[in-house]
Amino acid sequence: MKPNVADILVEALPYIRSFSGKTIVIKYGGHAMVDEQLKKDFAKDITLLKFVGLNPVVVHGGGPQINSVLDRMGIRPQFVRGMRLTDEPTMDVVEMVLGGKVNKSIVSQINQQGGKAVGLTGKDGGLIQARKLKIYHQAEENKPPEIIDPGLVGEVTHINPGIINTLAEHGFIPIIAPVGYGELGETFNINADLVASKVAISLGAERLILLTDVDGVLSSAGELISSISVGSIPSMIEKKVITGGMIPKIECGREAIDSGVKKAHIINGTKRHALILELLTDEGVGTEIIA
């Protein structure tokens, strides 16, 4: 039987009521930023959330777009532990692509759907202060760890939420590129998941949502685990239920919750309207992390 549209809308009502006036920070990345239909769906979802009384704040990635430009320039991207090694020429490309093309494309998509989006980088209004990230790599247990220089890769030291709050108060939707600045004016490339978590903490957000290309955390049988507690995370990592690239995302969610964010969610952005389904329906579509 086809779902009754009225029933779906009524199901969303208590969630809309409970989220009214609350801030939701969404990390936007993966295939959802490449597929044209998914890009339109995301813009509609963000605009809808704003119109029904939420304050969405978007932090976006852009790895594939950066790689495409680097490839045309003959620069081969290199990664260590998921971090892009960033020299000055690469940083110039990162800033140009993230703060320019990708950011303004997202802003344009949302504005086309009737929203009022404004693009920012971490340099605007002193939004994201950062310092150089040190990566420690231990190849063997009986040897000291190797310190890897990732170049202009940074970690967040402070978020100044003033410009975000001002925009939200005036009905705008902030779209943030994860580029920060250092004490000496250096520009740093920062992981978008980490920035989203820090922004959520600084805003006292109700929710942190990380869009990925997978459904969430899966059991050993390959079934979606819809909810996990912060306390269960260490054992789930030890038992290899949480592995690989999912670990840093889970750690971002855990840090956010430990710092006051109510819940964190990991959802599959390749599913149409996953954001709305996760936030405004009983069943949801991803994995939520709770205290």
C-alpha–C-alpha distance, residues 279 and 273, integer Å: 10
> The tokens of 96 are what?
């140009």
What's the number of CA atoms in the CB half-sphere (13 Å) around residue 168? Answer: 23
Question: What's phi and psi for 24, nearest 5 deg?
Answer: -120, 120
pTM of the model as a whole? 0.93
222 neighbors 168 (Cβ within 8 angstroms): no
What's the CA gap between 225 and 256, in Å, rounded? Answer: 20
Fold held by 5-290: Carbamate kinase (3.40.1160)
Residue-range domain boundaries for the chain: 5-290
Whether the Cβ atoms of residue 283 and residue 276 lie closer than 8 Å to each other = no
Determine the Cα–Cα distance for residues 236 and 228; give it in Å rounded to an integer: 9
pLDDT in tens, 110-165: 999 999 999 999 999 999 999 998 876 655 666 666 677 788 999 999 999 999 99
| pLDDT score at 220 | 86
Separation of alpha carbons 29 and 269, rounded Å:
8
For residues 270, 213, 12 and 18, what is the CA-based torsion angle, rounded to 10 degrees? -150
What is the rounded (10 degree) CA torsion for 26, 31, 32, 36? 150
Q: What is the pLDDT of residue 8?
A: 80
| pLDDT at site 146 | 67
pLDDT tens digit string along 257-274?
999 999 999 999 999 999
- Whole-number pLDDT of residue 1: 47
Which parts of the chain sit beneath pLDDT 70?
A: 1-3, 80-82, 136-146
pLDDT at 140: 60
Instruction: Look at residue 73 in the predicted model and tell me its pLDDT.
Output: 87
Q: Yes or no: say if 238 and 232 are a contact pair by the CB < 8 Å rule.
A: no
Q: Identify the pLDDT of residue 3.
A: 63
Task: Specify which residues 83 forms β-bridges with.
Answer: 80
**Percentage of the chain exceeding pLDDT 90:** 77
Q: CA-based angle 36:40:42, to the nearest 5? A: 115
Among 50, 97, 51, which Cα is nearest to 75's?
Answer: 97
